[in-house]
Chains A and B, each alone.
Chain A
Amino acid sequence: MPPSLQRLNLIGQAPLITLLVLCLGTALLTNRFLSPLNLTNILVQSSIMAVIAIGMTFVIIGGGFDLSVGSTVAFAGCIAAMTMVKFGLAAGVLAGIGAGIVIGVINGVIITKVGVNPFIATLGTMVLVRGVVYLMTGGAPTGDDRLPAAFIAFGTARLFGIHYLVWVPAVLLIALSWVLRATPYGRRVYATGGNREAAYLSGVPVERIIASTYVWCGGLAGVAGVMLAARLQSGQPTAGEFYELTAIAAVILGGASLHGGEGTLYKSIIGVFIMVVLGNSLNLLNVDSYWQRVAIGGVIIAAAATDRLRYRQ
């Protein structure tokens, strides 16, 4: 293999290497990092963000951007909790996910049919949906102790020793990676994000493809909202704030390009782990929480910088 190719591959694996170095460094500095309790914690903390990041990866591969996922998480969680109290577990879960899909469809239509820039369109829905959540709940948590026991159990119990919450992104990762890699639809998402005009001139229905990425993103934010409600044992109108920024940062850390056409789900999830492990290790090392923000911001910029370096080659 020529040396240039080796270098390229190494940069392609930068997210994984970063994560491993981070874990190794923390493990050397504190023995609490590798304790089963802490590792379980990291997995559970990552699970909800991972689901959101999967949806965000669809949008970013398609050349778009979605700021509304944080609000959608709260919206879906509150809808799920309110419906569940009246109509039972299944109806609540479906209503929560459905609520997310509806937001996704709205984003998709505004962006493709009306032609509003994705940044502005989803900034609008982000604020609007958050407002709706407060109107709906009066600003107070909903559901609380009236939620079904099975739902609460979903937020805490384990299957084969692993939390249900962790199984959700694991299954989604496998299924949706297959969709992106092996179906005509998946290849069209990459082509549309890579060069919308060229894809259109090759007969790809680009508007429908782009809209569909927002539907995935909204729907998965809905799933994340339901998961979060189960974990918090209520629908929280304030839930999910800044989730959109964490999710976007994780996807970019995972090597997806904001220009579209590039990104893989598993690397986005590695990006989520990098964010969570970084926070976790700074906590374990008793770093001031103000400094934690500085560190996380620095990591995001470093990730974007490696992206530029890769392009320059």
Chain B
Amino acid sequence: MTIPAASTRGVSKHFGATRALNHVDFEVLPGELHALVGENGAGKSTLVRILSGVHRPDAGEVIVDGQLSAFDGPRDAIAAGIITIPQELRLVPALSIAENLTLGDPPLRRFLGVTVIDRARMRQDTQTQLAELEFVPDPDTRITRLSFAERQLVAIAKALRRRCRVLILDEPTAALESREINRLFAVLARMKSQGTAIIYVSHRLDEVVFVADRCTVLRDGRVAAVRERGAFDAADLVEAMTGRAMAEIDAEPLTPGAVVLEDVTDRPDAVRLHANEVIGLAGLLGSGAGSVLRRIFGIGDEKIAMRRSGAVRRIASPGTAVRLGIGFVPDERRLGLVQNLSVRDNILLPSLDLLARGGRLDRAKGDRLVGELMELLDIRPRQPRMRATLLSGGNQQKVIIAKWLARQVGVLLLDEPTQGIDVAAKAQIHALIRDFAKRGGAVLVRSSDLDELAHICDGILALHQGRIIDRLKRSEGLSEKRLQTAIGG
């Protein structure tokens, strides 16, 4: 029998009164890709942090290569060959690829009796190592000039410089497009064949089904299921994660109402939004889908005029857009929330001017509004005074949407609204978007999750290099495959 590269036996962890992990057994074999899935708060991150030495378990054992291990910090885990690639890559943006790659252990040489960095060898090492990942950049390129996918490869190459027995990837594909995902999978396959064990944390269940040799599902800090490849599909995982079958989203076709927002100039990416309609923007990275949203919200490079309910207005700043009844949910949650303000203050932030009476805020009215919205969007816990940063990712995203519902905007712009959010919250957000449109709202949503777009949109614009190259309608049938072809991915 193969000895697991790393495993936990009966691991438990408490944070105050919260039990994050409850007697969890987990193992990953050499050459195995073991996926770890679960809703937000199910304990995935805690388990990963215990394996990588950030947290110490309250009870239970961590075993590496058959040896009982007690990590005193991330350093010990790294020394034991357990390397984590977090979602936010820890690279130094101002340094070059080669400098980042060799940051911990630069190649040295003696020069006039002084130890200096051997730059030539540093560059050469970098090139060899990245070539193994089929990535051949100039090693002197600064990290700031790389795409996210390229940075990720640098981070992986950096991990491979050390003795890497177990590689832990946290949501590695969240910011990647399909071509880049395929490249990453190829890299992972090669590492597996060399005997590296891989722990793969992801919300993207389709990917997990595709790539994982085995999958452990966590629910409320316990192991809810362990499945072998071929013995599960995405629906099984959802059921194990939530304890109930996946709810079908109500996407009954809506009849578009009047035009509420449209471009006035004839441009290759001109949009026209109707009431009661959800329009999707699909495109690969750099397709210009994101800049359509930014331009409409007044944060693009060019400030353009748009016709909003008949009147032509130049949208020079988000302030103007908000006054015109346009709301924007950015792709990063840190841009949507003021972390140290309460849930209540965040929800009311765009509506402060509407709540002012005689120079002061109408506190009672604000509290009532926040109470209603937290109920409607099922934001948990129902504590309006809690700091926004203490909420789970899905609930934070609901707070950001609640901001615009509080303002009663007519147009909602959404950028990757369900990125990094668990299945249950994702379904709730999809339902909210449909409901918003049903009540007369217009929605423009960008997502790299094409399946999501196919699910919730009435029409989809496919973009390429800043131009709309295809228009797809629900009546003609939407599917992930059709979208894939349309955007050329």
Contact = CB atoms under 8 A, between A and B. Distances in A.
B318 A194 contact: no
Given A201-B318, A202-B318, A205-B319, A190 B299 contact: no
Nearest to A207: B317
Given A183-B359, A184-B361, A187-B348, A201 B299 contact: yes
B148 to A, nearest CB: 19
Contacts of A202: 318, 322, 349-350, 403
B353 interface: yes
Interface string A189-215: 011001101111111110000000000
A191 B317 contact: no
Contacts of B318: 200-203
A205 B352 CA distance: 12
A178 B363 CA distance: 13
A198 B337 contact: yes
Nearest to A191: B338
Contacts of A199: 338, 349
Contacts of B317: 205
B321 A261 contact: no
Given A183-B356, A191-B349, A203-B323, A198 B299 contact: no
Interface of A is mostly: helix
Contact of A2 (B17, B321, B322, B335): B17
A156 to B, nearest CB: 36
A184 B323 CA distance: 15
Nearest to A313: B16
A159 interface: no
B337 A204 contact: no
Interface stretch (B133-141, B339-347, B421-429): B339-347
B4 interface: no
Report, as a range, how many residues of chain A touch the other chain: 20 to 34
A182 interface: yes
A198 B336 contact: yes
User: Taking each of B319, B322, B339, B355, which has the highest tally of chain A beta carbons within 10 Å of its own beta carbon?
Assistant: B319
Given A195-B334, A200-B318, A201-B330, A183 B360 contact: yes
A194 B340 contact: yes
B200 interface: no
A195 B297 CA distance: 18
A6 B73 CA distance: 29
A267 interface: no
A15 B317 CA distance: 40
A182 B299 CA distance: 29
B71 interface: no
Interface in B299-346: 299, 317-319, 321-323, 328, 330, 334-341, 345
Nearest to B341: A194
A4 interface: yes
B352 A188 contact: yes
Given A200-B318, A203-B318, A203-B323, A184 B340 contact: no
The winner among A197, A205, A262 for most chain B CB atoms within 10 A is: A197
Nearest to B328: A201
A173 B338 CA distance: 26
A262 B338 CA distance: 11
Contacts of A194: 338-341
A201 B350 CA distance: 9
B338 to A, nearest CB: 4
B338 A198 contact: yes
Contact of A187 (B330, B335, B352): B352
A120 to B, nearest CB: 20
Contact of B336 (A201, A203, A204): A201
Given A187-B352, A203-B319, 17 more contacts: A183-B359, A184-B352, A184-B353, A184-B361, A188-B352, A191-B345, A195-B338, A197-B334, A198-B334, A201-B297, A203-B321, A203-B322, A204-B319, A205-B319, A257-B340, A261-B340, A261-B341
Q: Which 5 A-B pairs have the closest CB atoms?
A: A203-B322, A184-B352, A194-B338, A195-B338, A202-B349
18 contacts: A2-B16, A2-B17, A183-B360, A187-B345, A187-B352, A187-B361, A188-B349, A190-B338, A197-B334, A198-B334, A201-B297, A201-B318, A201-B328, A202-B322, A203-B321, A257-B340, A261-B341, A262-B340
Interface of B: 16-17, 297, 299, 317-319, 321-323, 328, 330, 334-341, 345, 348-350, 352-353, 355-356, 359-361, 363, 403
Interface of A: 2, 4, 178, 182-184, 187-188, 190-191, 194-195, 197-205, 257, 261-262
